[in-house]
Amino acid sequence: MKELLKALAENDRDLEAPVAVEMRLRSAFRRKHARPRWPYFAMAAAAVLVLLVYLRPKPQTMEIAVVTPPVPTIRLARPVAKKVVHRKPAPREVVTEFYPLMEDPPPFERGELLRVSLPASVMRGVGLPVSEERLTEMVQADVLVGEEGLARAIRFVANRP
């Protein structure tokens, strides 16, 4: 019995999977490790985002000093009519839909929305119409950044009175 099994093992010893299997696997490997082909606007948005993060002003520390309040002096005064301040209504924020910045993003779990200023040319990158003379104007945008640091989507913000 052992001899027969040994003969079968010897017979099969050099059997291997066809080369086509390796080709298919290597192709799958390349697809898996292919760098995402980021469109130009995504690269630009990421670059600006990084700059903004590094260049944004750091919050200033405030020193609180204890000051003894002066003793109030009481004066009789004529009542003064209150000034009526006409405040302008806060501008209404209008946002576009989100435009994806990655072709085949990994699953999204957590992330944050960052408000940034970007050149209007980025809007054209996602297919929004922008006239030539306004391409260099700065526009506000919300960039959705995943916890892995990838900028996944962008939406543009406009303030309407």
Provide the residue count of the chain: 161
Q: How far apart are CA 101 and CA 108, in angstroms?
A: 13
Q: Which one, 34 or 74, has the nearer CB to another protein?
A: 34
Q: Which one, 29 or 108, has the nearer CB to another protein?
A: 29
Phi first, then psi, for residue 133 (nearest 5°) are -70, -15
Contact 105, 152 (CB under 8 A): yes
Options 9, 62, 71, 90; binder of another protein; rule CB under 8 A:
9
Specify the stretch interacting with another protein by CB under 8 A; choose among 4-12, 72-80, 111-119, 141-149: 4-12
Q: How far apart are CA 68 and CA 91, in angstroms?
A: 41
Distances (CA, A) of 107 to 8, 24, 38, 69, 79: 47, 25, 17, 58, 66
Q: What residues between 12 and 41 interact with another protein by CB under 8 A?
A: 12, 15-18, 20-22, 24-26, 28-30, 32-33
Specify the stretch interacting with another protein by CB under 8 A; choose among 6-14, 51-59, 62-70, 150-158: 6-14
Q: Which one, 100 or 105, has the nearer CB to another protein?
A: 105
Contact 122, 141 (CB under 8 A): yes
Specify the stretch interacting with another protein by CB under 8 A; choose among 2-10, 79-87, 115-123, 138-146: 2-10
Q: Which one, 13 or 56, has the nearer CB to another protein?
A: 13
Q: Which one, 35 or 88, has the nearer CB to another protein?
A: 35
And the tokens for 25?
């696997």
37, with CB counted inside 10 A (0-12, 13-18, 19+), is exposed
Q: What residues between 30 and 89 interact with another protein by CB under 8 A?
A: 30, 32-33
118, with CB counted inside 10 A (0-12, 13-18, 19+), is buried
Q: How many residues bind another protein (CB under 8 A)?
A: 25
Q: Which residues bind another protein (CB under 8 A)?
A: 1-2, 4-9, 11-12, 15-18, 20-22, 24-26, 28-30, 32-33
